[in-house]
Amino acid sequence: MPTPRMAFLLLRGRLGGGYIMAEIKCIGIITSGNDAPGMNSAIRAVTRAAIYNGLKVKAIYHGYKGLIDGEIVEFQTQSVSNIIQYGGTILKSSPSKEFKNPEGRKKAYENLVKEGIDALIVMGGDGTIQGARIFAQEYDFPCIAIPATIDNNLCGTDTTIGYDTALNTIMQTVDKIRDTATSHSRLFFVEVMGDGAGFLALNSGIAAGAEEAIVPTIEVEDDQLKHFIQKGFRKTKGSAIVLVAANEQTGGAMHYADLVKSEYPDLEVRVSIIGHAQRGGHPTAHDRIIASRMGAASIQAILKGLRNVMIGIDNDDIVYVPFSRAIKENRAIDRNLLDILHNISI
């Protein structure tokens, strides 16, 4: 067995002119927000890396709501056996309006103290990390975040857990839609998730050989859509696929389908909304690997005395991204990728 390592955290307060060193003996793990394939792989890595380094692990069920309600269970190595291959999260997730107010966060903090949890590792997207940032500031409590969202919209990391699996799910679905589109010479608008970011729509469009991708972060005028239909669909192809990022403001795929139907009533137009299937399924090897790396890195961050940082991957290296940067704004879409899509879809 390895020699247990003690994690220490440099607190902000002073005592007699010196800093207080608080020993971290127990960490809590929580998954919040929408589930993402690979979360279980990360839970496994966090649990086992913590135990390997002499730390106690306590799992919090049902997200921040469970933290408020005290749904906390101690995990052992065997608690995470045979979960790496499953999608979703064994810790469950649940929205919590109560955690958004000070009274709810106070209950959460009291439960952490009661359970002897000295640091918190949270997994989720921008909402999860925002909640952790506020909580950490209010109670000077050490929090480390692991980015787990199919949207891939967090700054400071090249990819997030779940994104690759969702991308592959979309690609495989579009491949099947292509068969019927070709058979009937139809124009399909396929709507995918992405929380307004557009990464799934653009990159799955490239992977699936789509003719166009409509993403909310790149302005799409009506005449651009008309240009695609007149120059692309009508003159060179008998069928076409357009990937559309779900967007409440534009109305998503239905909006563009209705627009085309009104302008070109002779076209066979169909809409397919993939929906929540994108968030499920066995995580890909890529997602399992980055989840394992990020999970282990979160424990290393604790051992180094870091706090209020998100684990990221930059050029295949593990990096520590301050919460303020990770959720400052959505990542920008690379316009060059859209140009590539246009160039190779002629």
Known catalytic membership, residue 151: yes
Q: Identity (one letter) of the amino acid at 263?
A: E
**Side-chain-side CA neighbours of residue 203 (13 Å):** 19
Q: Going by C-beta distance under 8 Å and a sequence separation of 6 or more, which residues neighbour residue 225? A: 212, 214, 256, 259, 260
3-state secondary structure of 308: coil
The C-alpha atoms of residue 256 and residue 244 are separated, in whole angstroms, by 9
User: Which one of the listed residues 151, 164, 195, 287 is annotated catalytic?
Assistant: 151
Number of helices followed by number of strands (H, E) in the chain: 12, 13
- SS3 state at 158: coil
DSSP state string for 105-135: HHHHHHHHHHHT--EEEEEESHHHHHHHHHH
> Residue 51, Cα to own-chain centre: how many angstroms?
26
Q: Which residues are designated catalytic?
A: 151
